[in-house]
Structure 1
Amino acid sequence: MDRGNNSAVTKFILEGLTHRPDLQIPLFLLFLSIYVVTVVGNLGMITLIFITSHLHTPMYYLLSSLFFIDLCHSTVTTPKMLVNFVSKKNIISYNECMTQLYFFLIFIISECHMLAAMAYDHYVAICRPLLYNVIMSNQGCIWLVGGVNIMGLVGATVHTGCMLRVFFCEDNVINHYYYDVNPLLELSCSSTYINEVMVVCLSAFNIFTPTLTILSSYIFITARILHIRSTEGRSKAFSTCNSHMAAVCIFFGSAAFMYLQPSSISSMEQGKVSSVFYTILVPMLNPPIYSLRNKDVKVAMKKFKERRMF
């Protein structure tokens, strides 16, 4: 048996989302529909932002980056889950498992910091409007998005590197619908203390640091908005932040529930439910959340439809 992967196990089996045979086909159809909507919504918004000149601003550059992360994030996990619903035995090799884990971590960590970058953009736009074009210049946006991606790459490399040191003996059945750190650690027959410490530390950093950035930004934003005298002005300023705050609450709430609970309290069944939110539902919900109440996007969509009809 190949022991080049530091493990006696060369293949893993995914248990999937549920064991009930009568739910496999309905769940397959449900999540297939969600994935199609996710792909169409995120690709559609990226395309709309790309072809619409008046959306070529820092805010929409960050937004298109978020949609790209959501698209990749969903594509890493959902297709494999769909295959699991219709196949009898969901086998994947050790190397494929680690590859999926690596890319999943890149995009999940990047999304945490991208939401923080977008909150910072709102802060600069509302609290420092005269300096907005200087701070959020093309070069500034590139550095911001680059920093977000570096955070994702570093976090994923550390987690996956630690996971490659873990030894798996005979148990190879993963109680989940995708390959994540915690389900894999449950199968280990060697010490996982370092891995558990890294999970808590990096999860705390990748959740609390963006959360503090977002909270700080919105504290300053709220203070600034309260100084606006007109009710219409305050309402307009708050409306620009509502969509972002809704996405933040859904994403960070479910991620914190999954990764920041002690292992003695959390269960993998609860983890499956909470992970559905940030791996499957959030990528689907972000395009409508950011577009339905956005006047610029509505105008761009209207012009695009008129152009197509013409």
Structure 2
Amino acid sequence: TAIVLLDKENNKERTLLRYGYDEHDQLIQGTDSYRNSFALTYDSAHRLTQKTDRRGYSVLFKYDHQGRCIRTAGEDGLLDTRLDYRPLEKRTLMTRADGGEWIYNYDDNDTLTSIIDPYGGTRQFIRNELGQVTAEIDPNGNTIPHYYDADGRQIPDASDPFEPPERSIPAVPMEWEFGFLLDRGTILKQQALPDQGAKSQMEIDSFPKAPTNWLSYNHRFVALIAPVFDPFGTLIKDRSPVGHSRRWRHDPNGNTVLYQDREQRQYVKTYTSMNLLQSEQSPQGGSTRYDYTFAGNIAKVTDPGGAVSAFVYDLKDQLIEVYKSDALE
């Protein structure tokens, strides 16, 4: 099975993603047009046990005899999380990579009622007869109300400048790669392929296009001239109104690894683990390095001169101490 870009004018096609399945019809591999692959591994009960991204980094999953996930972690221990299910107590204990234990409490309908943090603080969830959360009470006793419209959709907080996305879960296969760049209105038809199980064929009116990009030029916003995108909608080159170009290079996961500005200066980045920024190199050759805790927080920053800034967090991921050159700020 593959996602293929058809060029009807030139009678050409380009495979964007090719998928591989095992004898149980489980997705086990995907390879893009640059020959970068991701892989999925399952156990005998068809449960996902390992997911490897296009950079080769793996996330592992472990289950109990009832099929419940009891542990997940990156291959290097990043975000190591353990789950201890206690149905008779109506609670689940979650232990994170930093050792902090979180307790999730449920009612007789297995609906979440409260979360207790590692320091004993409780966040409560108040629900109406429809099961909607009408209020949250935080560990300090503050009440955060939740409101809904006539269709049952939650109304965003007026103080939140970003409304929740209209859709966050792909409804068609192409949205796994193109997300909001795919206009559902362009889908002409979608049909199941004979003897192919859940696999399907889709015809669209127009190929997904990247949104218009803008830049600030002489204190005003102007549209980019001649932007160039790769087949996945990622910007790789543009040109300013006066003819100066910028270029981007990305790794298999889409992270920017090289940026060349309009003065031809180059900035280089490297990444580690779950796409965490590992280093940044300036055009002058100076490099800034980042180290992380197993919880994924920045633990240390080493600047080009060798000066080190260290950061300490509590079990709720809150920054509590900053050290510069071993001195507490």
Q: Name the TM-score, length of structure 2 as normaliser.
A: 0.26
Rg larger for = 2
Q: Name the TM-score, length of structure 1 as normaliser.
A: 0.27
Higher strand share: 2
Higher helix share: 1
**Which has the bigger relative contact order, CA under 8 A and spacing at least 6?**
1
